[in-house]
Chains A and B, each alone.
Chain A
Amino acid sequence: MKKFKSTLIIDDDPISCFINQKIIERTELTQHIAVVHNGAEALEYIVKDVSANSETGNKPDLIFLDLNMPGMDGFEFLQKYKALERNYWENVEIVVLTSSNNQTDINKTKGYNVMAYLTKPLTVESLNSLFKQEDNRQ
């Protein structure tokens, strides 16, 4: 199964963040987990708090993104994130993780190199299945 260096969870719901964090820890998918609560905080984290060029920094290479959040929502985040310089989003996997399974929402995330669209709650099985598939593809 593919391993990641640093994972960023973007979700406004603290319980959801807690569950996601626990499940990700359980799968040992990543060495480091950071949590932010909306798109703006995520961009700030990515751009300011982490030196994108630093080898030692925790630049996320996996993002779990909720769509419906107060302030900057997931769609706006995707737009602004992809508008950043290439080195911020290159080789970063994005997994949309939301309670909505609305087709319109799914369609709106197309075109942003979203790796997968998962519905909450996040489970060990869904993560295993997702990254096992990813391994097979590679």
Chain B
Amino acid sequence: MSQSTAIISKKKGNRVFLLVVAVFACAVLTIFNYNTIKVVSGINAYISGESTYSKNQKEGVRHLMTYLVYEDPVEYELFLQYISIPSSTGSGLHGLLNSSSDSFVRESLSKGQNPPENIDNIIWLYKGFRHYKFMQNAIAIWWQGDSLVNQLIHLGVDINKATPFADSKADSLLKRQFFNEINTLSIELTSKEIEFSAVMGRVGRKSASILFWVNAIVITIMLTSVVAFSNMLIYKLEKSKRKLKKINTGLVATNDKLDNFIFATSHDLKAPINNLQGLLNLLFMIPATDPVQENIRNKMNASIVVLNANINRLEQLMLIDSKPDADGAEIELQDLLFQILEEHKEFIDAADTSVSTHFELEKLRYSESGIKEIILNLLSNAIKYKSPDRSGEIKISTYLKDGFFVLRFADNGLGMDVSLHGDQIFGLSKRFHKDLSGSGVELYLVKKIVERNGGMIKAQSEIGVGTIFELFLQKP
């Protein structure tokens, strides 16, 4: 493995590591927060259960004392009813400690007036944390409380057995003793209940504190990873941007060099060819001494004409730009066409071709050089593919179609199978034929000029009938 590959691989490894850390931190935070919420809900359920436990126990004590004073059996019944609530909660606790069935535990806790959602939390917290010190402390206090409740129930039973009390000194002393016992048990129970609440409260506060710190630490880890990961991505993006910019600058420079090279080469090629042509023209002014000499001069002339035309076209192709033309102007099409036809009169007459026009739209805002190139190339193309069997007819018209200014160019030339060649008719042939008729440069140039100015070109053609080009130049 090369050094650069090793560095790339290491950087990629760092990115993956940071991403894994961020995802892992997210997962840890989610699980931790879920469990913390469950713990806090469990603690709340225990505290709420204790509150119900305590209220009913105190109410039971009150009715037992009233029963001792007034000996009304209704008060005893009420005592039994109220004390059964903390007693049932106590049974639930026994069930938990002795691993009794969930249904027994739920039934007992339900009788102890614990709401169903609290019961779930009570069971979950006990099962999950029974081996933790805070839970063992709380259970021990609860256990002691239950033992006191049982003593209270036994005391109630004893009082009920001793009722009615006689108006004797002995019974009076017994009653006082019962009072004292109820009082002692009640004080002890209150103390246990306060102790239980304190233990659970401490656990709740500690949970909240742990929750805060764990969240703070994990979020810091997560943010650090994400920021580091983002920085790596930004750095990578900026590096790519710099690299692209460098490549682009290089390309622009190469392109400029290429343009200069093409310009210099075409000038260097054209100058001697033009001179050759000029010298040959001078030679033509001297009468030929024999027919062979004249034949050779004619062939030389024909070769130079072709060579010159090929170089001109090559230059046009190399310099064709993809940017829209900047020389937009209002053009009188009839005037422009007249000018072009005048300039190329000899060429068109020699090709036995006539040009007619029908302009529904006479003015066009377009690049003058662009539209001139288009018309010239289409004329050249039509003449090149003229049918040898008939005089050439070119019909040029303009109209509005689909919101576009359309320039239509129809000829009665050889025609071609558009379905067979498709868009290839606008393609550039792979070589310049010695015979220009095969070069296909004209249509390529026309398409380029139309497209770079935001238009499009369509062709219809029939073999032996002719070809129609519709140039959708622009929306007026």
A and B, one complex?
Answer: yes
What residues make up the interface of A, taking CB atoms closer than 8 Å to B? 13, 15-16, 19-20, 22-23, 26, 68, 99-103, 107, 119-124
Chain B residues whose C-beta falls within 8 Å of the C-beta of A16 in the assembled complex? 271, 274-275, 278
Give the shortest distance, in Å, between A10 (CB) and chain B (any CB): 15
B275 touches A101 (CB 8 A): no
- Of B272, B277, B279, B312, the contact of A101 (CB 8 Å cutoff): B312
A99 to B311, CA, bound (A): 11
A124 to B284, CA, bound (A): 12
Chain A residues whose C-beta falls within 8 Å of the C-beta of B270 in the assembled complex? 99-100, 120
- Of A15, A26, A99, A121, the contact of B267 (CB 8 Å cutoff): A99
| B251-281 contact mask (Cβ, 8 Å, vs A): 1 or 0 | 0000000000000000100111011011101
Closest 9 CB pairs of A and B: A121-B278, A19-B278, A120-B274, A99-B270, A15-B275, A103-B369, A121-B277, A121-B274, A99-B274
Give the shortest distance, in Å, between B266 (CB) and chain A (any CB): 8
A13 touches B281 (CB 8 A): no
B271 touches A99 (CB 8 A): yes
Asked if B292 is at the interface of the complex by the 8 Å CB criterion, the answer is no
B327 touches A19 (CB 8 A): no
Chain A residues whose C-beta falls within 8 Å of the C-beta of B281 in the assembled complex? 19, 23, 121, 123-124
Q: In the complex, which residue of chain A has the Cβ closest to the Cβ of B275?
A: A15
| B266-310 contact mask (Cβ, 8 Å, vs A): 1 or 0 | 010011101101110110010000000000000000000000000
Counting chain A CB atoms within 10 Å of each CB, the highest count among B267, B271, B272 belongs to: B271
- A selection of 18 A-B contacts at a CB cut-off of 8 Å is A13-B275, A15-B272, A22-B282, A23-B278, A23-B281, A23-B282, A26-B285, A99-B274, A103-B369, A119-B274, A120-B270, A120-B271, A120-B274, A120-B278, A121-B281, A122-B278, A123-B278, A123-B281
* Given contact pairs A19-B281, A123-B278, a sample of 6 additional A-B residue pairs in the complex whose CB atoms are under 8 Å apart: A19-B278, A103-B369, A120-B270, A120-B271, A120-B278, A121-B278
SS of B interface (majority):
helix
Q: In the complex, which residue of chain B has the Cβ closest to the Cβ of A12?
A: B271
Q: How many A-B residue pairs have CB under 8 A?
A: 51
Q: In the complex, which residue of chain A has the Cβ closest to the Cβ of B281?
A: A123
B327 touches A107 (CB 8 A): yes
Asked if B319 is at the interface of the complex by the 8 Å CB criterion, the answer is yes
Q: If A19-B282, A99-B267 touch, does A121 touch B275 (CB 8 Å cutoff)? A: yes
A20 to B282, CA, bound (A): 10
A19 touches B271 (CB 8 A): no
A22 to B284, CA, bound (A): 13
A120 to B346, CA, bound (A): 18
Give the shortest distance, in Å, between B405 (CB) and chain A (any CB): 22
Chain A residues whose C-beta falls within 8 Å of the C-beta of B315 in the assembled complex? 102
Q: If A68-B267, A100-B267, A101-B312 touch, does A19 touch B285 (CB 8 Å cutoff)? A: no
A119 to B278, CA, bound (A): 11
A19 touches B279 (CB 8 A): yes
A19 to B369, CA, bound (A): 30
A124 to B281, CA, bound (A): 9
A15 touches B327 (CB 8 A): no
A120 to B285, CA, bound (A): 18
Q: Tally chain B residues at the interface, Cβ within 8 Å.
A: 17
Chain A residues whose C-beta falls within 8 Å of the C-beta of B369 in the assembled complex? 103, 107
Chain B residues whose C-beta falls within 8 Å of the C-beta of A102 in the assembled complex? 315, 319
Give the shortest distance, in Å, between A136 (CB) and chain B (any CB): 12
- Of A19, A22, A23, A123, the contact of B275 (CB 8 Å cutoff): A19
Chain B residues whose C-beta falls within 8 Å of the C-beta of A68 in the assembled complex? 267
A26 to B274, CA, bound (A): 19
Q: In the complex, which residue of chain B has the Cβ closest to the Cβ of A97?
A: B274
Give the shortest distance, in Å, between A33 (CB) and chain B (any CB): 15
Chain A residues whose C-beta falls within 8 Å of the C-beta of B277 in the assembled complex? 120-121
Q: If A19-B278, A26-B285 touch, does A13 touch B271 (CB 8 Å cutoff)? A: yes
Q: In the complex, which residue of chain B has the Cβ closest to the Cβ of A106?
A: B369
A37 to B327, CA, bound (A): 33
Give the shortest distance, in Å, between B147 (CB) and chain A (any CB): 109
Chain A residues whose C-beta falls within 8 Å of the C-beta of B319 in the assembled complex? 102
A21 to B315, CA, bound (A): 28
Q: In the complex, which residue of chain B has the Cβ closest to the Cβ of A67?
A: B267
A121 to B308, CA, bound (A): 11
Q: In the complex, which residue of chain A has the Cβ closest to the Cβ of B264?
A: A68
Give the shortest distance, in Å, between B284 (CB) and chain A (any CB): 10
Chain B residues whose C-beta falls within 8 Å of the C-beta of A123 in the assembled complex? 278, 281
Q: In the complex, which residue of chain B has the Cβ closest to the Cβ of A14?
A: B275
Q: In the complex, which residue of chain A has the Cβ closest to the Cβ of B312?
A: A101
Q: In the complex, which residue of chain A has the Cβ closest to the Cβ of B372?
A: A103
Q: In the complex, which residue of chain B has the Cβ closest to the Cβ of A22?
A: B282
A52 to B279, CA, bound (A): 34
A15 touches B312 (CB 8 A): no
A88 to B212, CA, bound (A): 94
Chain B residues whose C-beta falls within 8 Å of the C-beta of A22 in the assembled complex? 282
A20 to B274, CA, bound (A): 11
A119 to B312, CA, bound (A): 12
A120 to B312, CA, bound (A): 12
A107 to B35, CA, bound (A): 81
Chain B residues whose C-beta falls within 8 Å of the C-beta of A120 in the assembled complex? 270-271, 274-275, 277-278
Counting chain B CB atoms within 10 Å of each CB, the highest count among A26, A107, A119, A120 belongs to: A120
Chain B residues whose C-beta falls within 8 Å of the C-beta of A121 in the assembled complex? 274-275, 277-278, 281
Counting chain A CB atoms within 10 Å of each CB, the highest count among B272, B275, B279, B319 belongs to: B275
Give the shortest distance, in Å, between B31 (CB) and chain A (any CB): 72
Chain B residues whose C-beta falls within 8 Å of the C-beta of A100 in the assembled complex? 267, 270
Give the shortest distance, in Å, between A68 (CB) and chain B (any CB): 6
